[in-house]
Structure 1
Amino acid sequence: MTIEKGSKENPWKLQTPPLTSSYEMYKDEKDGKEIIVCTVGKTVLHYDYRCIADLQEMLKQHGDWMELGSADEQKPAKDGTVEAWGRSTQNPIGGWYGLKKGLRGRFGMYLPPLLEELGLAEVEHNPRNNRMRAI
């Protein structure tokens, strides 16, 4: 029996867009809600699972490259970036896709490589200022 990729037993093994850090993600459920668990070293972040389809749809509508703009929750996100969209009251869930208070940011760092792994988006891998677009 094969263990499904993206499960706790067989997580997606990813690298940040600049290819400087490795981390893992997997699909789980918490309080009856589907989530993505993101483990970076000893830090564990949670994102609403809907962000995968919602981000891909937004990128399709955007139609071009979009800057990632990753930022911690305590810092403002640059307008027009994936990070800003991941916190915006204008996105489909009306706010943060990050679910752990104090660790809700970094959407623009950790979600783009997952969409790339799933074949839903193309992500640049430069040292800085990376962008992504829907496939």
Structure 2
Amino acid sequence: MQYVIGTKENPLVLKTPPLSSEFTMHRDEKDGKEILVCTVGKTVLHYDYRCLLDLHAMLKVHGDWMELGSADEQKTAKEGTVEAWARSEKNPVGGWYGLKKGFRGRFGMYIPPLMESLGLAEVTHDSKGNKMKAQ
């Protein structure tokens, strides 16, 4: 399924779950693979596009709120969080949804707001400890 996520020239502008920072997201293609391009200031992160459907399916099965647990790639993700799932060998891609080595983390910070804007999930907007669940 294709979602309207914006283009490089006209990206979707989103806010992090605590509503403290803006970032942009758009869909693109790299090496024949559909990707999500997340730009935070001058930092550019790439995520596998299929993460949207995979995360939505996992959240539906989970059935309740799940902590986001955003963490940099170099830090260990808290067990039972969206971030830990996005790195797990047990997820549908068998590992990281982040595609740029050194910038594969922060899935729990940037993908949930996109899912919320697409109507796929609800996300809390507290200063810390945000959660999400499937819509």
Shared fold per TM-score greater than 0.5: yes
Deviations 1:38-77 (A, max 9, x none): 0000000000000000000000000000000000000000
SS of the residue corresponding to residue 7 of structure 1 reads: coil
Structure 1 match to 2:44: 44
**Number of residues of Structure 1 aligned to a counterpart in Structure 2:** 132
Q: Distance in 2 between matches of 1:29 and 1:11?
A: 14
What amino acid is aligned across from residue 113 of structure 1 in structure 2? P
Letter in 2 for 1:121: A
Task: Name the counterpart of 2:76.
Answer: 76
**Local SS of the residue matching 1:52:** helix
1:12 Cα offset (Å): 1.1
Alignment of 1:56-67 (within 5 A): 56-67=56-67
Residue of structure 2 equivalent to 1:89: 89
Matches of 1:10 and 1:57, distance apart in 2: 28
Q: Given the two structures, how large is their TM-score scaled by the length of structure 1?
A: 0.96
Q: Which residue of 1 aligns with 2:124?
A: 124
Paired residue secondary structure (2:127): coil
Aligned to 1:21: 21
Q: Report the TM-score, using the length of structure 2 for normalisation.
A: 0.96
Q: Report the CA distance between 1:9 and its aligned residue.
A: 2.2
Query: What's the Cα RMSD here?
Result: 0.8
**Aligned partner letter, 1:28:** D
Amino acid at match of 2:96: W
Q: Give CA-to-partner distance per residue, 1:70-99, whole Å, 9 cap, x none.
A: 000000000000000000000000000000
Once residues 115 and 65 of structure 1 are traced to their aligned partners in structure 2, the CA distance between those partners, rounded to angstroms, is 14
- Contact 2:36/2:48, CA 8 A, preserved across alignment: yes
Query: Which amino acid counterpart does residue 36 of structure 1 have in structure 2?
Result: L
**2:5 touches 2:25 (CA, 8 Å); kept in 1?**
no
Task: Verify the 8 A CA contact 2:68 2:131 in the aligned structure 1.
Answer: yes
Report the equivalent of 1:11: 11
Unaligned segments of structure 2, at least 5 residues: none
Q: Which runs of 4+ in 1 moved over 6 A?
A: none
Residue by residue over 1:5-39, the C-alpha shift from the partner in whole angstroms, topping out at 9 and shown as x without a partner, is: 52222211100000010000000000000000000
Matches of 2:60 and 2:128 in 1, distance apart?
Answer: 23
